[in-house]
Every structure is written in C-alpha cells, then in structure tokens.
A and B are shown apart, each in its own frame.
Chain A
C-alpha cells in the first residue's frame, strides 16, 4: 500500500511539474497578453492541482492533508479571480486582443465580421 501511494504520488508530481513547465514556456512563447493568460492558467489549475495531489498522497491522514486541500482551494479560487481581474483591467485600459474573428451566440454561432 505504501509503495502504491508512493508511485501514484510520484506520477502526480512529475505530471504536475510537466504542466507547470508547459505553462511557463507558454508564458514566453505566446504572442500577446490575452493568449498568455491561457498559458498562465495551465500552471494555476492542472499544474498546481497535480503537485498538490501528489503531496497529499505523501501526507497521510491528518492536519497536513486538510491544509493541502485548503491551499489548493484557495489557489484555484484566487487564481481564477486574479486572471479575470487582469483581463478586465487590460481591456479597460485599451489593450485590444488580436483575434482572428468574433462570434455571437445570438446569430446562431455564425462568425460576424471582426
């Protein structure tokens, strides 16, 4: 049982590290601010989530587990709200996203002119 937990936790840690690295590279590689938010949100959700789950398997039952769950919940909620606040502030300050097109759900999903 110990060994099984160790293996699962290592897999989670390695996968989490991989997603964090992907997010970091995306942060450098994507061309403009609004697409970089998406790269940052990879590290915020699955990267942080998998690393925390990996640590949870090492923690065993107790206060440490509860604290890890708290950190995960806080970072998910705070990360989401912070990305939204940044996107909204950037839009309000006049930074325009470079897009290939816009869509409107009321026109039945048909692309309208950008």
Chain B
C-alpha cells in the first residue's frame, strides 16, 4: 500500500516538473517548485514507513521548513528584481 502511494506521489512530482518546465510565467514555475517540495516531504515520510525506518521523519520536518524558507526567499529576490524580469520570462 505504501508502494502505491509512493508511486502516485512520484507521478504527481513529474506532473509538477512538467508545469515547471512549461511555465509560462515565472510565478507558475515557483508554484510548481513549491508543490514539488511539498510532495518531496510526503515522499520522504512514506519512504520512511516503506523501509520501516521512521527516522526519515526528521528529514521530512527539516525539508518542510527549508522548502518554505526557500520559496519565500525566491519570491523576495524577484520582488526586488522588479517587474521587468517577470515580463521577460513570460
């Protein structure tokens, strides 16, 4: 059962990657990468149970926090880079 969940999460991660490559705007890519990060956390947690090693959950906790900080950091960066960059990406 964990295997099925892990496979579905991998498929969803692939879908998020497709959106990240397709764009079309910068913010679509950020959204897709954020979603990819959320799925990574779930995957790490499920993998921990799949291999019977719940210590993986510590990595998942750290990954939640890093994912959040990195998204906020990227947004801050492009907020200061300004309007022009976002339009060039589009």
Q: Which residues from chain B contact A108 at a C-beta distance below 8 Å?
A: none
Q: How many Å from the CB of A114 to the closest CB on chain B? A: 21
Q: Which residues from chain B contact A21 at a C-beta distance below 8 Å?
A: 8, 11-12
Which residues 1-22 of B have a CB within 8 angstroms of A? 1-2, 4-5, 8-9, 11-12, 15-16, 18-19
Q: Which residues from chain B contact A44 at a C-beta distance below 8 Å?
A: 35, 38
Q: What's the interface size class on B, roughly?
A: 35 or more
Interface of B is mostly: helix
Whether B75 and A68, one on each chain, are in contact in the complex, defined by CB atoms closer than 8 angstroms, is no
Whether A85 and B72, one on each chain, are in contact in the complex, defined by CB atoms closer than 8 angstroms, is yes
Number of A-B contacts (CB under 8 A): 136
Select from chain A the residue with minimum beta-carbon distance to B68: A78
Whether B58 and A67, one on each chain, are in contact in the complex, defined by CB atoms closer than 8 angstroms, is yes
Whether A94 and B28, one on each chain, are in contact in the complex, defined by CB atoms closer than 8 angstroms, is no
- Contacts A28-B19, A43-B35, A67-B58; is A86 near B71 (CB within 8 Å)? yes
